Amino acid sequence: MNDLSLKIENNKHLSRPIETNSRYDQKQKDKIASAAKQFESLLTSMMLKSMNKTTGGMFGEEGYGSDMFDSIFEQEIASKMSETRSLGIAEMLYKKITGEELSSEMRHKISVHLNPGKIHNTQPSSDSTKVQPSTSAIERLNNYEKHIEEAASTFGIDKNVIKSIIMTESAANNKAVSGARAKGLMQLMDSTATDMGVRNVFNPKENIFGGTKYFAQMLRQYSGDIKLALAAYNAGPQNVEKFNGVPPFGETKNYINKVLGYLEHFNKRKE
């Protein structure tokens, strides 16, 4: 029987921890950390949404625009909770996959995913045409200045970016309906409007808040890269993932250039 005993203490394969971190370079680790943080924020948001349903929401079931404002607060609270590491889910996932601790430096790198205000890649393509909004379109846009500024502050998006999307989507016509049935100032599809808590898609404030919230999610998903966020807004994030970048669609490329052209125009006016 003595010959059958196992000397586990001398077995190097069992005593040595598995080295998983060597499988990933720094860029891959950044992506893993970002995905882990996004998952934690999403899970927290789902938990808050579930708790809200049992109490009729933060603003009551009958309050005007309550669904939209509940959704805004859920997203913001979830992001703040994820930032403060109150759940520790992101750290656990990152360590499980890479075998490493999620360092403070790494958390700083991925902070843009929780605060999409930092935008990069804003230059239009060299072959893009300069856009010049019409006087009537600018007059219509000015009517929504207060809502745009409020949405910009709420979601951390430059107000000129919101204006540029509105101009490209609808030329600031709050009653616009596309052939694909996208509606309002920021041309929201019914499914997107519902997901963003928009009850009346033709209400300017609700539409702007819903569209800005959705764009902020896309911007957060693509690490502040405005071209990828705009591509996702126009063609859907599934196409951005499918083509690993801006989809090779003429409409989407023109859309991005037009938004960035308007952005250049509004930024110059600000100077």
Q: Domain locations in the chain? A: 23-113, 135-270
Q: What is the pLDDT along the chain (271 residues), one digit of tens a residue?
A: 454 444 444 444 444 444 444 578 877 777 787 777 667 766 766 666 666 556 555 555 554 444 555 555 555 555 555 454 446 777 788 788 888 887 766 655 554 444 555 677 777 765 445 778 899 999 999 999 999 999 999 999 999 999 999 999 999 999 999 999 999 999 999 999 999 999 999 999 999 999 999 999 999 999 899 999 999 999 999 999 999 999 999 999 999 999 999 999 999 876 5
Q: How many CB atoms lie within 10 A of CB 220?
A: 24
pLDDT of residue 270: 63
Task: Determine contact, residues 129/235, Cβ cutoff 8 Å.
Answer: no
CATH code that applies to domain 135-270? 1.10.530.10
CA angle 127, 130, 136 (to 5 degrees): 150
Integer Rg of the chain from CA: 23
Write out the catalytic residue numbers: 169
CA atoms lying within 13 Å on the CB side of residue 75: 24
Specify whether the CB–CB gap between 141 and 163 falls below 8 A: yes
Please give the pLDDT value at position 209.
97
